[in-house]
Chains A and B, each alone.
Chain A
Amino acid sequence: EAQVTQNPRYLITVTGKKLTVTCSQNMNHEYMSWYRQDPGLGLRQIYYSMNVEVTDKGDVPEGYKVSRKEKRNFPLILESPSPNQTSLYFCASSLRGQGLPYEQYFGPGTRLTVT
């Protein structure tokens, strides 16, 4: 089954304790992206990657890191989480190419709480 998986689905942590949220897709997609969803703000892009070893900042990158060492994986790293990073996080992936934009497939979301 074609899908984007995220782990963990729920995480409660404390300020300053480094954490990683994993994202993996099995569709051989080049493009991967992280969004955060906050009430009243919709979804905002954090980082994206066009392919292996190619990453770039989105609209709200502060406090986050990413890496793309393999095509299928795109982990989101919070080196020193703070309470304002409490949010619902989504990973998404899609093909790249000319013509119509390919559909972005979303993972199930990760609910992060930083106390």
Chain B
Amino acid sequence: AQTVTQSQPEMSVQEAETVTLSCTYDTSESNYYLFWYKQPPSRQMILVIRQEAYKQQNATENRFSVNFQKAAKSFSLKISDSQLGDTAMYFCAFMKHENTGTASKLTFGTGTRLQVTL
């Protein structure tokens, strides 16, 4: 079974600054995918960024980027130029690759609540 650990329950950052959210995972799988989801106060789950484990290059999406360290089983999220709208709960999630091509469940961490302040 896979586990995902987010060791920072809460974080705070000032507007326009950079913040990094940590995530580690444990798995015996060699092929898998990692995700960061954002959950604003509206409670909607929004996909922020995705990383394929077989890719060495770190994924980026505008102000969001990841630092993927496969050997260390670490997958941190960096938010640059933080904005008030980034205030949300952030969940790290793991999905194993299914050779049969079927969809697979997401295993989530416990979340990091990020507050962006003026």
Contacts and interface: CB of A to CB of B under 8 A. Distances in A.
Given A42-B91, A90-B45, A101-B33, A96 B105 contact: no
A106 B103 contact: no
Interface in A76-115: 88, 90, 92, 94-104, 106, 108-109
Given A101-B95, A108-B43, A109-B43, A96 B106 contact: no
B33 to A, nearest CB: 5
Nearest to B46: A106
Given A44-B108, A90-B45, A98 B101 contact: yes
Interface residues of A, number: 31
A98 B104 CA distance: 12
Nearest to A40: B110
B102 interface: yes
Interface string B85-118: 0000001010101000111111011110000000
Contact of A50 (B4, B45, B103): B103
User: Could you say which of A58, A96, A103 has the most chain B C-beta atoms within 10 Å of its C-beta?
Assistant: A96
Main SS of chain B's interface residues? loop
Contacts of A95: 103
A96 B102 contact: yes
A98 B101 CA distance: 4
A88 B105 CA distance: 18
B11 interface: no
Contact of B108 (A42, A98, A99, A109): A42
A44 B45 CA distance: 14
Contact of B103 (A42, A44, A88, A94): A94
A59 B106 CA distance: 11
Contact of A104 (B43, B91, B106): B106
B62 interface: no
A62 B106 CA distance: 19
Given A44-B108, A59-B105, A104-B103, 7 more contacts: A42-B111, A43-B91, A92-B106, A101-B95, A101-B103, A108-B43, A109-B45
Those 4 A-B pairs whose CB atoms lie nearest each other, nearest first: A31-B103, A106-B45, A42-B108, A98-B101
